A and B are shown apart, each in its own frame.
Chain A
Amino acid sequence: MQYPKISIVTVSFNSAQYIEAGILSILEQGYPALEYIVVDGGSTDGTRDIIDKYRYRIAHVIYEPDNGPAEALNKGFKLATGEIMGWLNSDDRLHTRSLFAVAEIFNSLNDVSWMMGFPTWFSANGVCVNEIYYNRTGPYFFPQYIGDNLHLKFARWSKWRFAMGDFSAIQQESVFWRRSLWEKAGSHVKEEFIAFDLELWTRFFEHAQLYTAQAMVGGFRVHGNQVSFNQQQRYKQESQKFIDAFRQRLFEQNFGYTMRTLLARLTKPFYYYETPVLKKIYPRVVDLPPHIIYDFLKKQFIIGES
């Protein structure tokens, strides 16, 4: 198998508690064509000592103050030369040998320009859980009670579904993309926002479909001290702004947008609730791409049925 060069950027700021697990989750993959870049924005809590411990295995380390993670990411990605790209926040982790799964997917499926792995979460002390906390109120047949069963339904996007507001579970830790897509999308993340990941996805959606794979790629560590939690309100407001703008663009470019939205809202419950026959309508209406599944007999990833 040919191993495409994968560039991963980790940005950190006072992340001593979790960063070692994150760094090791990347370095211990044993992936032969890894380009790992760490950008630290001036940590004072011992983070640098941990990074220094592994510096000989890291392609580039930048120690300099920045105005936030987006600026740090841009610094890191400017140095990246890999054909495949992604980033991992200092408190999150990759799963065992997941870079091999990413490599296999991009090697064998030429139509895939960006992909997301099966979403998983870690507890503060590293327990791998297959669901995030859902609001557990409401009748027992509400989707929150069947959260993990819906992961594969939630974890499937098209620009239509994204524009309709179903976006919150695109798990950044599990997302990787081709350099060509990054270049088409402008080769940067927007530094003035904290929801810069979501803004980047809107630009990616302009150029390519997001495919979801069954492989466990990365996991989000929920410890309550994340930017997305601490500044949840601002993150949500910014996200909504991006989605609104994206929806407006889509509306202007597509005559049947309103009709499609209406039909999607009507048919979505059938999809969520596994209603025979009718469940097939929603994916067609919003043009969901099929999942990438692993065929254990052929020992390779294939595009599943739509």
Chain B
Amino acid sequence: MVNIAGENTESKDTAPAFFVGVVFNGSEDDLKGTLKSVLKQNSFSRSIHIFYPVQKHIVPIEQDNITCTSYNSKDDFFRKLADAIEGTEADYCTVLWSGEEFFESAFDSVNRIFTQYSNINWLTGIQALRSPAGFNISLGSTAMRRWSYKIYEHNLYKNSGRFIPPASTFWRKDIWKQVSPWLHFVEQNDFCEDLWVALFKTQQLYTCKVYFSTSANDTKLYKPGIKRPNSPALIEDRALERVKEFFFINNIPYLRFLYRAEGEFAPVVRFDHNTQSYFLSQY
């Protein structure tokens, strides 16, 4: 049976499963909000893993598909997270901090995009900022959310504060075997810095112009890790990189050819309301 949106409503039993790793930030309320937003994605089966530091108290959550795992150190956490992803039977994975929440239809969008584009291995969507009163603020342009490996590395070096939002980033489980050899979790770093670098080794990151998640701004979830080594290649590129990034992020159209010519970026995944499906676009 197909509904007006062209969606096969009988396919729920065979809908793909999601692995959701939640990194507990210390606030039970934040965790509740995150879990609520995961459980709202009710067309999909979810395997939820909550990781919390052993010294923090967490009320055990007794629910199917929710596993709570404590860790002693960051190293221990990284290892347990990698093991959990390795062992999951889910089709798509994401890891987020408690305090981040998914938009209602996020999993549905992710599934549709992965289904429509079998060549996309990982993608990121838009993250809105959540005010203390709970409403969402939309900031920034798509250009600010596009990443090449070079720009990502450059941003790590700068510690610019611009980052790839975990709750809006998903990858296929079946590429994990290609990703894991590149994982060299560094104790001082945030877990996703190393994860994104490893994912970048497999493919460019596709950016989607769809809202996937929201994050509470004042929890300062993202803590940049150590400054990256000042590699000779990076020094060489830095000046030009800065100029190009300025034009690109500010989206000055007639200067964007600098990036277009290099083809550094994966196309943007956009939604076409006429066909109710996604399409790829350069911008």
Contact = CB atoms under 8 A, between A and B. Distances in A.
Interface of A: 17, 95-98, 100-101, 104, 118, 120-121, 123-133, 136, 140-141, 145-146, 148-149, 214-216, 222-224, 273-275, 294, 296, 299
B131 A148 contact: no
Contact of A149 (B5, B126, B143, B282): B143
B97 interface: no
Contacts of B276: 123-125
Interface string B247-283: 0001111101000100000000011111010000111
Contact of A216 (B132, B138, B272): B138
Contacts of B128: 216
Interface in B215-255: 217-218, 250-254
Q: Which 6 A-B pairs have the closest CB atoms?
A: A97-B134, A149-B141, A101-B135, A222-B273, A125-B5, A124-B5
A145 to B, nearest CB: 4
Interface in B96-116: 103-105, 108-109
Given A128-B210, A296-B129, A296-B218, A123 B142 contact: no
A120 B5 contact: no
B108 A125 contact: yes
A129 B214 CA distance: 14
Interface string B1-29: 00111010000000000000000000000
Given A124-B5, A148-B209, A214-B139, A133 B274 contact: yes
A148 to B, nearest CB: 5
A132 B270 CA distance: 10
Chain B interface mostly:
loop
Contacts of B139: 214
Interface residues of B, number: 46
B260 A101 contact: no
A140 B260 contact: yes
Contacts of A129: 209-211, 271, 273
A176 B35 CA distance: 32
29 contacts: A97-B135, A100-B133, A118-B138, A123-B5, A123-B271, A124-B276, A125-B108, A127-B108, A130-B126, A130-B209, A132-B273, A133-B272, A133-B273, A141-B254, A145-B253, A146-B141, A146-B143, A149-B141, A149-B142, A216-B128, A216-B136, A216-B137, A223-B4, A224-B273, A274-B250, A274-B253, A294-B131, A296-B131, A299-B131
B99 to A, nearest CB: 14
Contact of A214 (B132, B138, B217, B256): B138
Nearest to A140: B282
Contacts of A296: 129, 131, 217-218
A127 B210 contact: yes
B218 to A, nearest CB: 6
